[in-house]
Structure 1
Amino acid sequence: MKKLITKIKSSAIVKNDGKNFLHFFLAFTVIFVALTLIIIQVMRSGLFKATDQNLEDLGQNPEYLWSLVLHQQSNSGQPNNTNQGNRIGDYGPANSILIYDENGKLVSNPTNSSSDGGDQILEGLEKAVKLDRKAIGSIRSITVKNTLGADWNYRYLTMQSVNVSTGQIGYIQIFTNVDQLKESLQRNVFIIITTMTIFWLLSILISLYLANWTLQPVMLAYEKQKEFVENASHELRTPLAILQNRLELLFQKPTATIIDESENISASLAEVRNMRLLTSNLLNLARRDSSLKINSEETQPEFFDSIFTSYQMLADDADKEFSSSNKIEGNINIDQSLVKQLLTILFDNAMKYTNDDGKIAIDISKSGNFLAINVADNGEGISDEDKKRIFDRFYRVDKARTRQKGGLGLGLSLAKQIVVAYNGKITVEDNQPQGTRFVIRLRLDNPLVNPARIFQKH
């Protein structure tokens, strides 16, 4: 049991399934991480957009900011000498200002916009912020620790300006408190990350499902291939064993003549012919698995009459009754070799599974754009369980009887391939009162364009 489990775990299918799962899982991981980062970035930029725009508007009016300092105006006061044509922004309780001289030294302690705690805020900003001339014109973020150990979050803009009273060049930093926006951002980020994590964990199950789903056709083909190799090996092993025994018997009698050993030689030749037929059919299947093309040509109704004449001779030789009905009027376009092979396979199958008093009937007609073929016999019939598998390669309803009659279990598989190539349909039914009936419909106006459809499970 342990060896079986080890073999299963080391099989190519299981290994490939693990690789598929890993590929899907990594793909989902990259998607969720990228989506999370994009959402957070978009939300962050949108959240601070109004605040940054207000800072930029205030930065366009340095005279207004200087007037706040020089005239000690209140938080909501407006200067008397503002430019009427410019938007000056909204300076409110959340704003603070720091002013530097041309050397970058803090030279003023202007009035903060809040009446309570303003000095504490300015003191914290003066300790935390340094003038960076490279940051002029850009908006930055900063976090300041207050006396209680809590964080104050600010967005600020640094700009170069001229003192309206002295004419000296200086620098102004305008700050906006964004504590509420920061808290809102943190909550939203937590919600987004939590949601994405949940869906990321769900992607594990989705990856397992997709890996299994994508491998189903591969596993089906793998099982079919394995079964095909096992059946082919089994079919070849039997005639090889018979040949070996016959040849060993010939070596045991080195003085015997050909006439004396004619029975062994005849049996050996029969097995050689059987192996040749088997290998020819296997080669035919392999070629048609790669591609099966329909080469249609204009065909007269007499084409089928000539085939039925040959079948009549074979049936008479086997003391069986054969009847045919050709209801085709006018010419049709078909692949003569493939249709003839299809009819021969079905006729040969009926011959094998009917007794000496067997009756075989083939009816052929054209219905619309379809070529309809019915092949019926009065043999023993086929059980419902066997009907599900008779088109599988090497499958035989009565293996002992079929082997005795030379059957390889490949004929109906070839017939099914031809029908599929014609984009048609083949079904097997019970014939009344006894026997089996094959019903075939071949589409004449739309044969198979893509040969890969042959590989589909039917």
Structure 2
Amino acid sequence: MRKLLKHRKKMSRLIFKFDLKTFFHFFVVFTIIFGALTLIILQTLTTGIYKTTDETIDRLSKNPLVLLSLASRDNSDSSSLYQVDNFDDPILSDSPSVAPNQTVVLYDKNGRVLNAKSDITSNTLSSNLKFSKANLSKITTVTMKTATGETLLYRTRLFKVSFDKRITTNITYIQLFVNVNQLSESLARSQFIIMTTMISFWLISLFASIYLAHWSQKPVLIAYEKQKNFVENASHELRTPLAILQNRLELLFQRPTATIIDQSENISQSLAEVRNMRILTSNLLNLAKRDDGLKVELSDVDHTYFEAIFENYQLLADNSQKQFSNNIALKGSVKLDEGLIRQVLTILFDNAVKYSDPYSEITMTVAKIGQNLIITTADNGYGISDDDKNKIFDRFYRVDKARTRQKGGFGLGLSLAKQIIDACGGKIEVQDNQPKGTKFIIKLKV
């Protein structure tokens, strides 16, 4: 009882550590995904919302005459900005219209503002205005504050210009400002919605990580339990023959002068246990190979394949004082793995021989029904209870341990048979045989 409690405590600690580690991995992955997704969406949104404005700035920057017209509109003393030599040539006419939120600031070659009466260069905002050649030809975002404390946001570009020879002016640089307060407010609202949504999903990922941590550990724990049970059962099965061998060999030493005939019983029993151990280790090796994956090699077989197998079974049945009969209702050929199916049939036949009384009947039938090959093995032996039917294909499980040990079984044959049938894409099930005994039914798609 103490060992069981100690084992459960150890398992609980292992499960907790595994849970915590797996949860942390899932949560970190979700955090990175949502963080990267948020950055990408915000960057795309910011770039997209100013795209039209930046395209407008770029278009107007290529037409300085339009910007000169806009500066003249905002400055009442336009004569101080430029002079046109030929008034009959409408070089400033038919220019694209400009929006009210667009403002132009003109500079001379020294960076001095020429249109001092514009909105941007008024006393209210002039303290925030800075001329810098470092931003030449670049679209940047600037913030200015009014006397009332209101914040105005502009997208702007400073660029160097040259005019037609008919225009006399000392304008060297033009800076275009486009007010984007409305766009900025819309961007802020969108960013808030995106951040709120992402944080909500990030919190949901917390619970998802907990669930996935529990879910992902189940197959690991099941595999661990199967491995532990397998090792315990294998150790238990090997313990008995080893103990018998030890006792028999000790008996040989107690009578060192005895002849082989005198010790024949001890030698015979020792050899019997060695054979049992060889069979057990061979079965264990086969199961280990099957766990690594079965390689199914299909080939065409007909009724002669089963006839040859059943002919050998007839001889074995006669030697075991059993009545054996078979029925093969197979026309044409079917595709199956000859070696694997022969191994399964041998396991079922061997079980039927072991767990039935002398002179009892064993019947094996083969029939093709539709696209399925049905193989049935029936005996009128001891039978299997309903509870045992659910466990009969588990490794080392035996219906009657005392009788099985006496018959030389280890509870591995049916487990191996099921693995083979599963690998072949078929099904195997156990039923009661009427009026007495057991029936194993194999269904293979051929």
- State how 1:41-52 maps to structure 2 within 5 Å: 41-52=43-54
- Residue of structure 2 in register with 1:103 after alignment: 110
1:159 aligned to 2:153? Answer: no
State the aligned residue count.
Answer: 430
- Structure 1's unaligned 5+ residue stretches are 75-79, 113-117, 445-458
Amino acid at match of 2:286: N
Q: Is contact 1:430–1:436 with CA below 8 Å preserved after alignment? A: yes
- State how 1:409-448 maps to structure 2 within 5 Å: 409-444=411-446
Evaluate the alpha carbon distance shift between residue 410 and residue 85 of structure 1 in structure 2; reply closer, same or farther with a 3 A threshold. Answer: farther
Evaluate the alpha carbon distance shift between residue 335 and residue 182 of structure 1 in structure 2; reply closer, same or farther with a 3 A threshold. Answer: closer
Q: Is contact 2:70–2:103 with CA below 8 Å preserved after alignment? A: no
- 2:55 alignment partner, SS class: helix
- Residue of structure 2 in register with 1:226 after alignment: 228
Q: Which moved more, 1:240-249 or 1:378-387?
A: 378-387
Q: Is contact 1:98–1:110 with CA below 8 Å preserved after alignment? A: no
Q: Deviations over 1:371-391 (max 9, x none)?
A: 321111122322222212211
- Residue of structure 1 in register with 2:81 after alignment: none
Q: CA deviation at 1:338?
A: 2.6
- Residue of structure 1 in register with 2:98 after alignment: 89
1:347 aligned to 2:349? Answer: yes
- In the aligned structure 2, how far is the partner of 1:42 from the partner of 1:278? 66
- In the aligned structure 2, how far is the partner of 1:205 from the partner of 1:328? 57
Q: Deviations over 1:207-260 (max 9, x none)?
A: 333344444433333322222222111111111111112222222233333333
Evaluate the alpha carbon distance shift between residue 420 and residue 241 of structure 1 in structure 2; reply closer, same or farther with a 3 A threshold. Answer: same
Q: CA deviation at 1:17?
A: 4.9
- Residue of structure 1 in register with 2:84 after alignment: none
- In the aligned structure 2, how far is the partner of 1:411 from the partner of 1:393? 8
Q: CA deviation at 1:70?
A: 4.6
Q: Is contact 1:21–1:208 with CA below 8 Å preserved after alignment? A: yes
Cα RMSD (Å): 3.0
Amino acid at match of 1:152: L
> 1:273 pairs with 259, 272, 275, which one?
275
Q: CA deviation at 1:300?
A: 4.9
Q: Is contact 2:323–2:362 with CA below 8 Å preserved after alignment? A: yes
- In the aligned structure 2, how far is the partner of 1:103 from the partner of 1:296? 90
- State how 1:35-434 maps to structure 2 within 5 Å: 35-70=37-72, 81=90, 83=92, 86-90=95-99, 92=100, 94-112=101-119, 122-162=122-162, 166-434=168-436
Q: CA deviation at 1:3?
A: 5.7
- In the aligned structure 2, how far is the partner of 1:54 from the partner of 1:333? 73
- Residue of structure 2 in register with 1:7 after alignment: 10
Q: Is contact 1:321–1:357 with CA below 8 Å preserved after alignment? A: yes
- In the aligned structure 2, how far is the partner of 1:25 from the partner of 1:149? 44
- State how 1:15-30 maps to structure 2 within 5 Å: 15=17, 17-30=19-32
Evaluate the alpha carbon distance shift between residue 59 and residue 123 of structure 1 in structure 2; reply closer, same or farther with a 3 A threshold. Answer: farther
Identity, in percent, stands at 52
- Residue of structure 2 in register with 1:452 after alignment: none
Q: CA deviation at 1:276?
A: 0.7
Amino acid at match of 1:184: S
Q: CA deviation at 1:288?
A: 3.0
Q: Is contact 1:428–1:437 with CA below 8 Å preserved after alignment? A: yes
- In the aligned structure 2, how far is the partner of 1:86 from the partner of 1:66? 10
Q: Is contact 2:152–2:181 with CA below 8 Å preserved after alignment? A: yes
Q: Is contact 1:57–1:87 with CA below 8 Å preserved after alignment? A: no
Q: Which moved more, 1:30-39 or 1:249-258?
A: 249-258
- In the aligned structure 2, how far is the partner of 1:88 from the partner of 1:58? 10
Q: Deviations over 1:95-118 (max 9, x none)?
A: 433322101123441232xxxxx7
- 1:123 alignment partner, SS class: coil
- In the aligned structure 1, how far is the partner of 2:216 from the partner of 2:52? 49
- Structure 2's unaligned 5+ residue stretches are 77-86
Q: Is contact 1:57–1:89 with CA below 8 Å preserved after alignment? A: no
Q: CA deviation at 1:293?
A: 3.0
Q: Is contact 2:154–2:178 with CA below 8 Å preserved after alignment? A: yes
Q: CA deviation at 1:19?
A: 4.4
- In the aligned structure 1, how far is the partner of 2:351 from the partner of 2:138? 87
